[in-house]
Structure 1
Amino acid sequence: MTVYRDYTRARIGWFFGLTGVQLGLLVAAVLPVAWSISRQDWAAVALSVLGWGLLFGIVAVPVRGRSMTGWITSTVALAAGTLAGWTRFRARATTGQAQEQEQADLPGILASVVVHEGPPTGHHHRRVALIQNHSMRTWAVTAVIVHPGLSMAEVEDREVYGQGLVELLDAAVRAELACEVIFMVRTVPEDGAERVDWVRRHRTGNAPAQVSRINDDLHESLTAATVRTEQYVTVVVPESRLGRVAREYGGGLNGRARALYGAIAEVESHLRGGLGASSVEWLTSPQLAHACRTGFAPGDRAFIIDALAAAQPDDDVNTCVPWEMAGPSGADTAVRHYSHDAWNSVSSTIKLPVQGAAMGALAPVLVPHQDGERRSFMVCYPLVPPGRADRASANSEFGADLGQSLRAAARMKQRTRNVDESQKVRALESKLARGNSLTVPYAVATVTVPKTVRAAEAGRRLDSSIRRAGFAPLRLDLAHDVAFAASVVPMGISLTRKAG
């Protein structure tokens, strides 16, 4: 499991790389050509052939990971949203409009999110935050974890971590409740807020001035060269499954909370066991609000730490971030980046290499290259139910066999890539038959920089880091706002799930 290469394309075209829908459209477009030839109308034949070639380019030729149809649809949608003012967000707090404090005021795809406080659980009677997404009809719970990392891990330890991840995903599929498990890592420059508070409380006035100056110089130099890593795990459950299980616990919010508590308890056991997490803490609503606010504004973390330090001797200090202020004061969606408050973010997804992906290979993506730069990425594991996995495997195997037969009948040379793809498809079917689960993972990386730094330059540095890690980047133009919400804000946003 230290090198993973058992992945195949999500959809295999069974006729020379074309799917059934694409082939049907192209065949239907040939009929006007044949009709014009039968009438010997050569001008109409030329126009029909030209139209068929244009349709082929739109339907079958991908451009930077998307078909021409997808680009046209996304461009028109963004232009219409910009003209209508839908891509611009202004928080209600900036206009002085009052609203309920527990109601989140977030932009874009996060606008339909409502955060509930679950019933007390555990020895400390914590109220875990339950994230309800009305547009996607899902529920999610997020935990912050502490993990020793993979940079100094031996090969045997990486094997154990890989097997632990497999066991977690297999257990989640067998439970038939969760639909996605999302891992998120955010690397932010160290602001030194905790050390400043510690020095303020422990430094005495009788210390030698030279010693104090040396400590201050070390603090300044080390803080500039240090980064802080935040790691989150989010479990997403669809309402269609949760509602059935919640009826066994009495229904309503409490019933759903009890069902979610059971699911996250099983996930926590795998995180602490095979995956080697030393700490797993499921976030409460105030903690989730802090994570959301620092996601949109990384510079606000120091002020939150100062408030928490000031609240230790004085209980009157307010340390909570209201949900109506947990989002940005303003946000705008552009074609090449996403603008929020005083920051710009650029997102890219990655393409898995043919030779395989080594565990921990994404580490270079998290290294900031400039002061004030924040890197983050998310890896999402959509869980495919066993029945759907069997059908998908059978369809892929049928498409691979049919494509191979057609190439052999046409006496076309079998390319090594096609042969390897067919072998992976057949190996997948044998693994599913032996009880393994099917997942279709993907990853999104995001760089966030102040508006004083050019967003295009930050995006190029991010793509360079992805290539240096051994992957191929694909800029998520026209969708940077959704990609930012998925890879920076730990609230269970997905790029593949459709609205319900």
Structure 2
Amino acid sequence: MATIYSDYSRARLGFIFGFSGWQVSVVALTFLPIAGAVSAGAWRWVALFGLLWLAISALTLTPVRGRSAVGWLQAALAFAVGGLTGWTSFRATATSGTADDLDEPDLPGVLQAVTIHDGPPQGATFSRIAIIQDHRARTWALTASIVHPGIGLSESEVRERYGSGLTELIDLAARTEMIDEVLFLVRTVPEDGAERNQWIARHRRADGPSVARRINDEIQANLTRASVRSEAFVTFVVPEGRLSRDAKESGGGLDGRARVLYSLAGEVEAQLRGGMGMTSVTWLTSPELALACRTGFAPGDRATIIDALAEKESDPEVNAEVPWAMAGPSGADPVARHYSHDAWNSISSTIKLPTKGALMGALAGVLTPTDPGERRSFMVAYPILSQAAAQRQSATSEWAADIGEELNNRARRKQRASSRAEAEKVRGLDAKLARGNALTRPYAVCTVTVPKTQGVAGFGRNLDASIRRAGFAPLRLDLAQDVAFAATNIPLGVSLTRKAN
């Protein structure tokens, strides 16, 4: 039996015939010259102002691929200015031999303001968890590598329990009054056979039968081409404004912030292992996080890094770590419809939740590659509203639903079934908040990455087709491909909804 989730609604409802307040204000203000011309009897000016009013109304009210025409104009101008001035183009300092500090991250785009700190030793192994500080967004974050058995063959009761575990995790994050976003990131990469090759090298005998050697080699080659490898991460983000007060009580400075973040990590890990059924939760150290970032930008580098790690076990002189100055790409250039980084191109699309509901586990099909050599990844984010903000949004949305319904009745305009359903969900939101549930605005972004020797446009169409087969509607994130790539492949807490401070 399938588990369907449909208990969601739009973040904001248009209270005047489905349009928001600023849209109605623009239309009303631009109509004033027409009214003035009519009162003066200047009919020629009425016709001229009427044409201008229709053009402005169309630009303001008509959405084009998720944005208004005004929004597209602003984004296009910003993208053009960034390209002409060279702000969006990135070249790593290591390529010119000017990287002075190998521990300083050298990352492109929205990741340029990120600093990685080593937290204080903790646990029996005295590991130092990497603390991610984003100076641009004024946030702190921790990232863990997670392993889950999956839900592909699970019964409906198990799926319901995992779904409830995710709900409890979001409610737990809201109750801390510190965590404002939880992000899950999954990357599916083609199998490179690195671990299998090492196992064969350790166990193959020189005097073994040639037939067995040939059979194992054929199995290795066929399985490597047909297999994929998945890796998953979870990141929680805490704004500086919420963290600073508790950090002062814990000693202040980086150590005080680390103690608070460590305590939050313990709460999150308990819920991940318990309600959500994670079999492994490992908070990443700085070298492990650098490795995750490097393989995010360049999937083909993983095999050589695995070989270096294996050689380090027998030869301690081998350097198997990736310095932060080289964890990013050697070069990156955002294009309007894709993102170019090193020898790879990536295309990202966001998804729209269907009205009929989303099948739990449906995004698994999006991770399945359609051709050899491509990598699929997605990020699901849960921005959590504070209790006060949730109450304000609930009251505003309910008021907008009531006003919209009353205006439709007075205009004798029949309300659509979808609008009625949205209004009912909004009216039930206040009761859920009163029961202690948290309010979140989840979104998801999916990305495909392929070598530059292959045409990325075709893989982008295949990604959109996979999203549609999963039951969702894709929307290409044009003019924002670099940010979307960073959010879906680099586990550093990048968000598409948080504004820079």
Shorter-chain TM-score tier: over 0.9
Q: CA deviation at 1:2?
A: 2.6
1:69 is aligned to 2:70: yes
Give CA-to-partner distance per residue, 1:50-77, whole Å, 9 cap, x none.
1111111121111000011110000001
Q: In the alignment, what sits opposite 1:455?
A: 456
Give CA-to-partner distance per residue, 1:186-233, whole Å, 9 cap, x none.
000000000101111111101001100000000100111110000100
Q: In the alignment, what sits opposite 1:222?
A: 223
Distance 2:388 2:306 in 1: 48
Could you tell me whether the CA contact under 8 Å between 1:89 and 1:331 is conserved in 2? yes
Q: In the alignment, what sits opposite 1:387?
A: 388
Q: In the alignment, what sits opposite 1:129?
A: 130
> What is the 5 A alignment of 1:353-364?
353-364=354-365
Could you tell me whether the CA contact under 8 Å between 2:178 and 2:242 is conserved in 1? yes
Give CA-to-partner distance per residue, 1:226-245, whole Å, 9 cap, x none.
10000100010001011111
The residue type paired with residue 88 of structure 2 is T
Q: In the alignment, what sits opposite 1:444?
A: 445
> What is the 5 A alignment of 1:471-486?
471-486=472-487
> What is the 5 A alignment of 1:378-417?
378-417=379-418
Distance 1:392 1:291 in 2: 37
Q: In the alignment, what sits opposite 2:200?
A: 199
Q: In the alignment, what sits opposite 1:499?
A: 500
Q: In the alignment, what sits opposite 1:429?
A: 430
Q: CA deviation at 1:159?
A: 0.7
SS of alignment partner, residue 439 of structure 1:
coil
SS of alignment partner, residue 15 of structure 1:
coil
Distance 2:230 2:155 in 1: 21
The residue type paired with residue 282 of structure 1 is W
Could you tell me whether the CA contact under 8 Å between 1:486 and 1:494 is conserved in 2? yes
> What is the 5 A alignment of 1:155-166?
155-166=156-167
The residue type paired with residue 99 of structure 2 is A
Give CA-to-partner distance per residue, 1:125-181, whole Å, 9 cap, x none.
110000000000001100001100111111111011001011111011011011100
> What is the 5 A alignment of 1:72-471?
72-471=73-472
Give CA-to-partner distance per residue, 1:421-440, whole Å, 9 cap, x none.
11110111111111111000
Q: CA deviation at 1:36?
A: 1.0
Could you tell me whether the CA contact under 8 Å between 2:99 and 2:325 is conserved in 1? no
The residue type paired with residue 148 of structure 2 is H
TM-score in terms of structure 1 length? 0.99
Give CA-to-partner distance per residue, 1:429-457, whole Å, 9 cap, x none.
11111111100000000000001111111
Distance 1:36 1:21 in 2: 24
Distance 1:9 1:160 in 2: 26
Could you tell me whether the CA contact under 8 Å between 1:311 and 1:319 is conserved in 2? yes
Distance 1:428 1:123 in 2: 45
- Please, what is the CA RMSD of the aligned residues? 0.8
Give structure 1 stretches of 5+ with no counterpart. Answer: none
The residue type paired with residue 479 of structure 2 is L
SS of alignment partner, residue 235 of structure 2:
strand
Q: CA deviation at 1:99?
A: 1.7
SS of alignment partner, residue 187 of structure 1:
strand
Distance 1:20 1:337 in 2: 34
Distance 1:38 1:242 in 2: 59
Distance 1:167 1:407 in 2: 39
The residue type paired with residue 98 of structure 2 is Q
The residue type paired with residue 152 of structure 1 is L
The residue type paired with residue 352 of structure 1 is L
Could you tell me whether the CA contact under 8 Å between 2:65 and 2:475 is conserved in 1? yes
Distance 1:243 1:58 in 2: 43
TM-score in terms of structure 2 length? 0.99
Tell me how many residue pairs correspond in the alignment: 500
SS of alignment partner, residue 9 of structure 2:
coil
The residue type paired with residue 476 of structure 2 is R
Could you tell me whether the CA contact under 8 Å between 1:2 and 1:162 is conserved in 2? no
Greater CA drift, 412-421 or 317-326: 412-421
Q: CA deviation at 1:3?
A: 1.5
Q: CA deviation at 1:98?
A: 2.8
